[in-house]
Structure 1
Amino acid sequence: MILAIPFPDISPELFSVSLGGFDFALRWYALAYIAGIVGGWAMARHVTQQAHLWPRSEVFVTRAQIEDIMTWVILAIVLGGRLGYVIFYQPGYYLQNPLEALAIWQGGMSFHGGMIATGLVVIVYAMRHGIPIRSLLDVGALAAPLGLGLGRLANFINAELWGRPSTVPWAVIFPGADAQSCANLGELCARHPSQLYEAVLEGLVLLVVLWVLAYRGALKVPGLICGLFLGGYGLARFVVEYYRQPDAQYITAANPAGHVIGWDGWGLTMGQVLSLPMLVAGLAAAALVWRSARARAA
């Protein structure tokens, strides 16, 4: 018999109440969004007040401005994430059903879309208020991994975005007919817990690395932390895509791996196509600002 871990008995709902015919439920996924945003806000408030970490050892943004920009960031995360999913993953479907693009409660969010929208909001806000753009982007990069990690944990609890079929001892038997429809795996159909891989790499590891570098002087080089975040996320997501089940709309009998570029056993998934530019651009930007800082110091 194949060794595997049964999916834990965790409800997607933290709690639910019914009052006067009105049902309300708080789901772990919603809680992850709330905790990620509140935690990111607290991190941003903290790090921006540490004057010794920044160029010229001075505070460049007020707490009131951090609170102000968070309103726009929340809108960017939600609207950008949904728009990114519509454009990147199912444009044909939503062109035929445009009203369903607004149905966020049905699921379907793209990190890449949310990241692009958030980056644009931060840049525009910084320009309008005379705040150093690259330093403000660094603040966002320090806060982002917390939300990413919590979101992936919520994906695991929801038993969604699971990994490819696997026989490794830590593979998980996810509930549902779709998750268990694996071929040639005997009695059990277990999959990589790719949500947990992402929670560790995109969340915990990236968070620790960036904050250690921040307190070791990286924030003195504006844009360095942001570049490392983009490169680090791009690398982590690119690697995990080899273990993550691709979106169903890309899987066919001739293309079981769900590649959008190349087939016959090789190619890139949509997640890799979107993450590769992040990896290249992020590392290139980090190298450029680091080299420029070294040149100025010399």
Structure 2
Amino acid sequence: MWLNELYHHLNPIIVQIGPLAIRWYGLAYVVGLALAAVVIYRVARRWNLGLTSDDVTSVIIAIAFGLIIGARLFYVVFYGDGYYLQHPLKVFATYEGGMSFHGGLVGAIVGGSLACRKLRISIPTMCDLAVIGAPVGLFFGRCANFINGELWGKPTSLPWGVMFDDAGGGMVYRHPSQLYEALLEGVVLFLVLFALSRKANPPRPQGTFLGTFLLGYGTFRFLIEFVRLPDKQVGYLLGTNWLTMGQCLSIPLVVAGVAILVLSRRARRQQVGKLDEAGAPAA
């Protein structure tokens, strides 16, 4: 079990000075957002959208705030199972983990949209740009989940099984489901979206990339949930031994992704950058 050996040599804390600790979990957010910004800027430049590095930076900062707030709130509401009502200060303990991708997506869209409105940037186009970079952040986030030893999978006899410290159930090797998600939601989804962004000139219509991202992420997440244990405070839903909260929240993403792709194909609106006061593409 070579991956198990690697896991047990990893420390969630990179460096600690007194009470101040720098953790891989926090660094993953910073690095993921920074690299996503680079991807967004480079794709926008290839599409000749006229967006500056300051534009992209401002939107990314707004996305970051929305992502963190939305991810934490969704986790507290949908996965907390009353725990945070009894321990309200723990809502702010994000360093312990407990972030929902689905909430982060909603928060990122809201935060990014507010910034786009202020900067007069096309929201649909920025959504398409943002989801091309998003899998980069997902990759680092899932790797950080692995280092933290959280969100582990079901027991397995596969040679890459890992014995997580806090999983309970005795000395059991489990699926490193965090790394499955890093591979599918991160690497595979990024390669698909990035390839789509390069294959057409002019670029594919607004909504193409957002729809593909939602469809791809929702599908991958739904499938991976079959080998990932649900949060113990929530468990399986509707009396089943397989349906999880993650799957329930992923189904709407798949439906939304398909709907957006259909509408995008029908409308065929071109990608635009800056808008004038009337909301039309700036000259």
For normalisation by structure 1, the TM-score amounts to 0.83
Say if 2:65 and 2:111, in contact at 8 Å, map to a contact too: no
Q: Partner letter of residue 20 of structure 2?
A: F
The equivalent position to 1:164 in structure 2, one of 154, 171, 175, is 154
Q: How many residues align?
A: 266
2:272 aligned partner: none
Q: 1:142–1:245: structure 2 CA closer, same or farther, 3 Å change rule?
A: same
The equivalent position to 2:20 in structure 1, one of 16, 20, 24, is 24
For normalisation by structure 2, the TM-score amounts to 0.87
Q: Partner letter of residue 274 of structure 1?
A: L
Deviation at 1:291, TM superposition (A): 3.1
**CA RMSD of superposed structures (Å):** 2.1
Q: 1:7–1:180: structure 2 CA closer, same or farther, 3 Å change rule?
A: farther
Say if 2:25 and 2:95, in contact at 8 Å, map to a contact too: no
2:100 aligned partner: 110
Deviation at 1:23, TM superposition (A): 4.2
* Structure 2: distance between partners of 1:157 and 1:102: 21
* Structure 1: distance between partners of 2:84 and 2:149: 25
The equivalent position to 2:237 in structure 1, one of 256, 260, 263, is 260
* Structure 1: distance between partners of 2:19 and 2:212: 44
CA deviations on 1:54-90 (whole Å, 9 max, x unpaired) are xxxx415332211112221121121111111111111
1:128 counterpart = 2:111: no
1:270 counterpart = 2:245: yes
Deviation at 1:93, TM superposition (A): 2.2
**For structure 1, which segment, 231-240 or 163-172, has the greater mean C-alpha deviation from structure 2 after superposition?**
163-172
Q: 1:59–1:248: structure 2 CA closer, same or farther, 3 Å change rule?
A: same
2:4 aligned partner: 6
1:233 counterpart = 2:217: yes
Deviation at 1:104, TM superposition (A): 2.3
* Structure 1: distance between partners of 2:239 and 2:211: 29
CA deviations on 1:231-254 (whole Å, 9 max, x unpaired) are 11111110000011110112xxxx
Say if 1:4 and 1:173, in contact at 8 Å, map to a contact too: no
Deviation at 1:40, TM superposition (A): 0.9
Deviation at 1:180, TM superposition (A): 4.4
* Structure 2: distance between partners of 1:79 and 1:14: 24
Question: Structure 1: which 5+ runs fail to align?
Answer: 183-187, 251-257
Say if 1:138 and 1:219, in contact at 8 Å, map to a contact too: no
CA deviations on 1:19-45 (whole Å, 9 max, x unpaired) are xxx343322212211110110111112
The equivalent position to 1:189 in structure 2, one of 172, 180, 185, is 172
1:253 aligned partner: none
* Structure 2: distance between partners of 1:127 and 1:65: 12
Deviation at 1:102, TM superposition (A): 2.4
Deviation at 1:201, TM superposition (A): 0.2
1:207-226 map, 5 Å: 207-217=190-200, 219-226=203-210
Q: Flag as ranges the 4+ runs of structure 1 deviating above 4 A.
A: none
Q: Partner letter of residue 12 of structure 1?
A: P
1:43 counterpart = 2:39: yes
* Structure 1: distance between partners of 2:115 and 2:22: 32
Q: Which has the larger radius of gyration?
A: 1
Question: Structure 2: which 5+ runs fail to align?
Answer: 270-283
2:78 aligned partner: 88
1:69-84 map, 5 Å: 69-84=59-74
Q: 1:86–1:100: structure 2 CA closer, same or farther, 3 Å change rule?
A: same
CA deviations on 1:231-283 (whole Å, 9 max, x unpaired) are 11111110000011110112xxxxxxx322342x4x52000011110011112
* Structure 1: distance between partners of 2:52 and 2:159: 50
1:205 aligned partner: 188
1:246 aligned partner: 230
Q: Percent identity?
A: 40
